Structure 1
Amino acid sequence: MSHTSARRRSGIVAAFALFAAMLGHAPAAMAEESQFGYVYTTDLLPQGAKEVEQWATWRHQKVAGYFDQLDGRTEFEYGLTDRLQVAFYANYTWARAYHNGPFAETTPPEPLSYDKPGPDDHYNATRFVGFSGEAIYRLWSPYNDPLGVAVYIEPTVGPAFRELEAKLILQKNFLDDRLVTAFNFTYAPEWRYDTVEGDPTRKAWGYETDVNLNIAASYRFAPNWSAGFEFLNEHEYNSYNFSKESNDGYFFGPVIHYGGKNFFVTATLLEQLPWASSHSDTVPGAIVGGRIYDNDFEKYRVRIKAGWYF
């Protein structure tokens, strides 16, 4: 076993051991909005409540050259019941790239992979990705039950993109709800309308599956303020059944959250850890310095979310 693999496995074991230890205690109190940029919790809007959220996610730095991607999401959420929250949102993206991909070829990010710039082109594009619907149903509450449990479903439809994302969401609170911990398991097959490999004159719907295991913890250190960390473990497969793995990436970083009476702001900064492994379908040259830089992975991510209740 390589030192990189050993460090990666040790880090995953430690992270999940921390989460398991947290699940061994139990207290209770009131719900509040999510405190994380990437990880979902079982806290939902009460029946009849409405919210508008704006997300901005900046992805930065690939193999070489320059790379920046800015993903936007504008979302409306509604509490259909105290247990069921629904949402509708629009997704859009901008990217610029130059000599950023494997072997220093200019490579668009995954949402724009149907664009085919030349290997030495300066790429710059803005696109509408698609509309999404979302439903989260809470089975157990972290305030009244031993563990908060919710299920999530999100279809997305766009001009050249389809996705059906499903999540299992777990939440456990401690210290009179000042400490919030959460775990998400995500299974998300997706389809892109793109040129067929080996035949650039023909297009077809290709597919892959994203599988993510993410954990987070946040502590309220002052009225309205909390801070903590998020850890993302992301995998991509060229199949529906966990075979033909192409990529695995690991991200870790701090999150800070402010929650006012009618609004909140959350910001997360993540750096990819040098734990990536080569798999059967990994693109040659996509792993550099232990990090995967295929078209859905980068070195840094920053996400800012702002929400308004009414």
Structure 2
Amino acid sequence: MNYRSLLIASLILTVSSSIAQDRQFVRTYQSSTLAKGVKDLEVWNTYRTGRQYFYNRLDQRLEFEIGLTDKLQTALYLNAEHKTFASHLDTLGGIKDTSSSGVFSESGFSVSSEWKFKISDAVANTIGSALYLEFTVGTSEVEIEGKIILDKRTDKNIFAFNIVGEYEMGFDVKKGETQIEKEMKAELDLAYMRMLNPYLGLGLEIRNHNVFVKDKLEHSALFGGPTLFYSGDKFFIILNALPQWTNLQVNEHNPNSLNLNEYQKIEARLLIGFNF
């Protein structure tokens, strides 16, 4: 065994022994999968706020994840979404509706099934890669999401890049008639993390999100913010703040430098996981 092979083997052993989960980021996915029989329980909380009218939103997910083989893992999610908002007009970036008063609340629930297959390893190979598929079914919408995952890990550096596509069907009723509303979403995620030691890392995640309605790009925005990772013996915590940087699709619905109609000024996500 030459020096390079010995170094790679040592790094693989260090990574696998110090990190029992498949992620160091909250938004950008990595190619690593759980070993066969290894299980994770993850609790997600995502808070979003900041529009031109009063708006707060909390998304929660409870995820049970298991490695089926050393290259294939699956997960089941229970999802909850809660919104509180003031009356508004869905034009000019979502302006306030001064003709009415009060605060409205909405909640929704759904379930998701996730599948991830690792093609190449981020340490042993030149580049890590994986394919990801997620199905979501709720009372008012159905979603299918796919990801191409690319990443690379060295001794203290983690790089990750995702290409994401999502097809969504939502249900609405207008004048007594049920209607199906379809959307296509595309997303690019880029992330970097510096591992300060085997258990603590500090990084940056950048997200470009795009919404297509009837094959036309209607919304596009760029986000970015810091991510903090900490791992213990049987748990891990990841925290990310993601402010909106700029509106990339200025139009009559989103005429300002920030898109506060489809998106918010800032999102924050806390993910806590337990290994067993």
TM-score tier (shorter): 0.7 to 0.9
| 1:274 CA drift (Å) | 2.2
What is the letter of the counterpart of residue 274 of structure 2? W
DSSP 3-state at the match of 1:43: coil
Contact 1:132 1:155 in 2 (8 A): yes
Residues 234-245 of structure 1: pairs in structure 2 closer than 5 A: 234-239=209-214, 243-245=215-217
Match of 1:248 in 2: 220
Of 261, 272, 275, the residue aligned with 2:233 is 261
| 1:99 CA drift (Å) | 4.5
Match of 2:158 in 1: 180
Contact 2:43 2:62 in 1 (8 A): yes
Q: Deviation string for 1:50-102 (max 9, x for gaps)?
A: 110000000011123x2110000000000000000100111111111115652
Hey, what's the Cα distance between the residues in 1 that align with 2:52 and 2:131? 36
| 1:223 CA drift (Å) | 4.2
Contact 1:136 1:152 in 2 (8 A): yes
What is the letter of the counterpart of residue 106 of structure 2? A
Q: Deviation string for 1:86-145 (max 9, x for gaps)?
A: 001111111111156522149xxxxxxxxxxx96441123221x1100000000001211
User: Are 2:108 and 1:127 aligned?
Assistant: yes
Match of 2:177 in 1: 202
Match of 1:298 in 2: 264
What is the letter of the counterpart of residue 69 of structure 1? R
Contact 1:148 1:172 in 2 (8 A): yes
DSSP 3-state at the match of 1:274: strand
Normalising to structure 1: TM-score of the pair? 0.79
Match of 2:29 in 1: 40
Match of 1:277 in 2: 249
Match of 1:286 in 2: 254
RMSD across aligned positions (CA) = 1.8
DSSP 3-state at the match of 1:153: strand
| 1:201 CA drift (Å) | 2.7
Identity rate of aligned residues, in percent?
27
| 1:204 CA drift (Å) | 1.4
Gaps of 5+ in 2: 1-6
Match of 2:82 in 1: 94
User: Are 2:54 and 1:76 aligned?
Assistant: no
Q: Which moved more, 1:94-103 or 1:249-258?
A: 94-103
What is the letter of the counterpart of residue 66 of structure 2? Y
Contact 1:276 1:287 in 2 (8 A): no
Hey, what's the Cα distance between the residues in 2 that align with 1:226 and 1:285? 39
Contact 1:287 1:293 in 2 (8 A): no
Of 114, 120, 137, the residue aligned with 1:157 is 137
Match of 2:48 in 1: 59
Match of 2:186 in 1: 211
Normalising to structure 2: TM-score of the pair? 0.88
Distance change >3 Å, CA 287–CA 69, structure 1 → 2? farther
Q: Deviation string for 1:214-255 (max 9, x for gaps)?
A: 10001111341100100000000014xxx3111001101000
| 1:203 CA drift (Å) | 2.0
| 1:49 CA drift (Å) | 0.4
Match of 2:127 in 1: 147
User: Are 2:267 and 1:309 aligned?
Assistant: no
